[in-house]
Amino acid sequence: MTTLPRFGAGIWHFASYVDRYATAGYAPPVGLLEQIDRAGQVGSLSVVDLNWPFVGFDGDLDDVRAALTRNGLSAIAVTPEIYNAEYVRGSITNPDPVIRAKAIEVLHDSVSVAQALGCDYVKLWFGQDGWDYPFQVNHQRLWRDAIEALREVVGAHPDMRFVIEYKPREPRVRIVFPSAARTLLAIQEVGLSNLGVLLDFGHSLYGQESPADAAQLCIDHDRLFAIDVNDNMRGWDDDMVVGSVHLVETFEFFHTLRRNGWDGVWQLDQFPFREDSVEAARSGIRFLTAVHHALDLLDEEALADAQSRHDALTATRLVQKALLTSMVELGD
């Protein structure tokens, strides 16, 4: 088997969660350092993505570094929290210039944190930037505000990479960056080489994309900087354990990455509401390891021949053979 990729996870994977039916949470709150310790218990993670500011944490960066070090981890990214209730009408597109300026300041500050932790990139998720009703916003102005803010922030830090994590909806009914194509259009308009895409597999499914096709599009434009993987039922961003529903589409996604020589981190973005977070991470990585092995087993020449004829049945048989053989061979 070829060398395994590095595996990572969003640190929120190891937190506890609330929803409108369990507003007190499904488990007691888990502090940042305990989340890092839980990530270390997985045994096969090498990096984590950290939310910032560190809500409810009264330590400093030295404490975070120490926790990462004792668990054999490093920080791959910082995800600034510009999507909470404070930004209910948007962050970089907020109609209030004071709140918009504060969001931009948070993004600038997050770069300093990312640099101090040796991160590869700052992740931008604009969950509150969008609209809920027809006629609620001036679409031209909303888009212009987003592009101008991105140009300001990304342009001020040429030595740091930034990624936009797109998503079709939630919490807003429509988010300003909902798809691979529209995100690439924004990046093209911003015109800076250090701005790329983080493709979340579940967001792509939820948006009715083919994740493999979306990945190829981003790669063709040299903008696939990072990925997050998970699964869902396609009707919502369920953030289930990767491979629990869409085995073949997940395999096609990673086949696209392999075929193009993409060698970034395979990163979990799962929300195990009711499952043990450490075991959920291990389960995801077991499946990803099987996918990696299956890519070695896949008969690429026969697949290329089938694809040249658009022969779906032969392609499916080849894929099933590789994927199922890999899972049997690796076992538990």
Ramachandran category for residue 90: left, alpha or beta (phi over 0 → left; psi -120 to 50 → alpha) = left
Residue 35 · residue 10 · CB < 8 Å: no
Residue 266 · residue 26 · CB < 8 Å: no
What are the structural domains of the chain? 7-275 (3.20.20.150)
Q: Is 254 helix (H, G, I), strand (E, B) or coil?
A: helix
The reported pLDDT for the residue numbered 1 is 72
The reported pLDDT for the residue numbered 207 is 98
The reported pLDDT for the residue numbered 138 is 98
Task: In whole angstroms, give the CA distance from residue 197 to residue 125.
Answer: 11
Q: Report whether pLDDT(332) > 80.
A: no
Residue 79's alpha-carbon distances to 54, 135, 162, 247, in angstroms, are 10, 31, 10, 28
C-alpha 167: how far from chain center: 10
Q: 174-175 and 130-131: which strand pairing? A: antiparallel
Q: What is the pLDDT of residues 72-112, one digit of tens each?
A: 999 999 999 999 999 999 999 999 999 999 999 999 999 99
Residue 51 · residue 84 · CB < 8 Å: no
The reported pLDDT for the residue numbered 236 is 96
Q: What is the average pLDDT value for the chain, to the nearest integer?
A: 97
The reported pLDDT for the residue numbered 233 is 98
Residue 165 · residue 202 · CB < 8 Å: no
Burial class (CB within 10 angstroms; exposed 0-12, middle 13-18, buried 19+) of 302: middle
Q: Report whether pLDDT(326) > 80.
A: yes
Q: What is the mean pLDDT of residues 287-312?
A: 98
Q: Is 226 helix (H, G, I), strand (E, B) or coil?
A: strand
Q: What is the pLDDT of residues 209-227, one digit of tens each?
A: 999 999 999 999 999 999 9
Q: What is the pLDDT of residues 109-159, one digit of tens each?
A: 999 999 999 999 999 999 999 999 999 999 999 999 999 999 999 999 999
The pTM (predicted TM-score) of the whole model is 0.97
The reported pLDDT for the residue numbered 132 is 98
Q: What is the mean pLDDT of residues 281-295?
A: 98
